Amino acid sequence: MRIGFGYDSHRLVEGRKLILGGVEIPYEKGLLGHSDGDALTHAIIDAMLGAIGLGDIGKHFPDTDPAFKDADSIELLKQTVERVRGEGYEVEWVDSTVVIEEPKLAPYIEKMREKLAVLDIRPGDISVKAKRNEGMGFIGRGEGVAAFAVCQLRKIEPAL
């Protein structure tokens, strides 16, 4: 069994879509980033890469590479899960938290779990939680969001 941890943050700005966990959420601002800025999916990718000891998202999908401009982060997650399988592991469980002052994410959580359940991962194996930051700091002021994730992998048993 392997455990990995991931963290990400992105700035909230006007003129961008708000995409978290692969779901577009109607809001006056969105997340700035070279890709679609999906901080939640990025934290989950980092947790998976951490669990197999293969660095972080910046190493695999550099933000200097035009190929990843406006990239769909769910596609990057798929590639990461394939990478995990290539190392002989599969995803057993993901737990994650997005910290965002507004909007309320509760209505979108189930949709996010479905979107994040790529390849052979089931929505029931992905936990997504959302919290406000009680008005404190950059999150409280609505300047940005942060996301945290842990991931548990199990070794793929060779077929007999």
CB of 66 to Mg ion, least distance (A): 17
> Would you tell me how many other CB atoms lie within 10 Å of the CB of residue 20?
29
Coil, strand or helix: which one is 36? coil
CB of 158 to Mg ion, least distance (A): 35
Q: What sign has the CA pseudo-torsion 60, 61, 62, 64? A: positive
Binding-site string for Mg ion from residue 38 to residue 77, where x marks contact by CB under 5 A and - marks none: ----x-----------------------------------
| Contact stretch for Mg ion (CB under 5 A) within 6-14, 19-27, 85-93, 111-119 | 6-14
All residues at 6 or more sequence positions from 99 whose CB lies less than 8 Å from its CB, including other chains: 130, 131, 132, 133, 139, 145, 146, 147, 148
CB of 79 to Mg ion, least distance (A): 15
Residues found near Mg ion in the complex (CB under 5 A): 8, 42
